[in-house]
Amino acid sequence: MPARGELAPDFEALTDEGKTIRLSDFRGKKVVLYFYPKDFTSGCEMQACAFRDHYAQFEAANAIILGVSPDDVESHRKFREALNLPFHLLVDSDFSLSKAWESYGTKTYPDGLTFTGTLRSHFVIDEHGVIIDVQNPVSPQESAKRALEAVQS
């Protein structure tokens, strides 16, 4: 797993606008890279809305936010519009990003049901591309708060 103090591995991904971006495009800014299982699910909406609601504070700390899930461009576009998200969502349909960042696996819920896919986590990367915070796993209620503390420190 990419660890605190390491240079963040670069990657290329499609955004909710169908544009290709690279993590290295954002050097000079802090980046919150957060992984979530699926658009339009309760925990994922809670997490996205918390990042949205604190977006001005992230901007003030010279940070951008990028959400990552396996949903396609169209689903991300609709999710972003429905929740009025001021940040981009990245497509990881083959789970290559979530696997590279060790945010993929099987989760067992208290009722015994299991889920295999993208696991909720986030990474905060500084202006030089160094990982300064890792929360893996992280709860949807705590993700934005913890990421904000990391970008402000």
DSSP state of 9: P
Q: Which residue has the tokens 């402000």?
A: 152
Three-state SS at 60: helix
Check 14, 33, 44, 148 and give the catalytic one.
Answer: 44
Six token digits for residue 37 = 């299982």
Q: What is the pLDDT of residues 46-95, one digit of tens each?
A: 999 999 999 999 999 999 999 999 999 999 999 999 999 999 999 999 99
- The residue among 38, 35, 44 whose CA lies nearest residue 67 is 35
Q: For residue 66, what is the DSSP state?
A: E
Q: Which residue ranges make up each domain of the chain?
A: 12-152
Q: Can 49 be counted among the known catalytic residues? A: no
68, 89 Cβ separation under 8 angstroms? yes
**Per-residue pLDDT reduced to its tens digit, 87-112:** 999 999 999 999 999 999 998 888 99
In angstroms, rounded to a whole number, what is the distance separating the alpha carbons of residues 134 and 121?
8
Q: Is the dihedral of CA 52, 54, 59, 62 positive or negative?
A: negative
Over residues 118-125, the mean pLDDT reads: 97
CA distance 104 to 135: 14
Instruction: Of 72, 10, 13, give the one whose Cα is nearest residue 40.
Output: 72
Mind listing the pLDDT tens digit for each residue in 128-140?
999 999 999 999 9
Architecture of domain 12-152: 3-Layer(aba) Sandwich (3.40)
Which residues does 88 contact at the CB level (< 8 Å), separation at least 6? Answer: 15, 16, 17, 21, 66, 67, 80
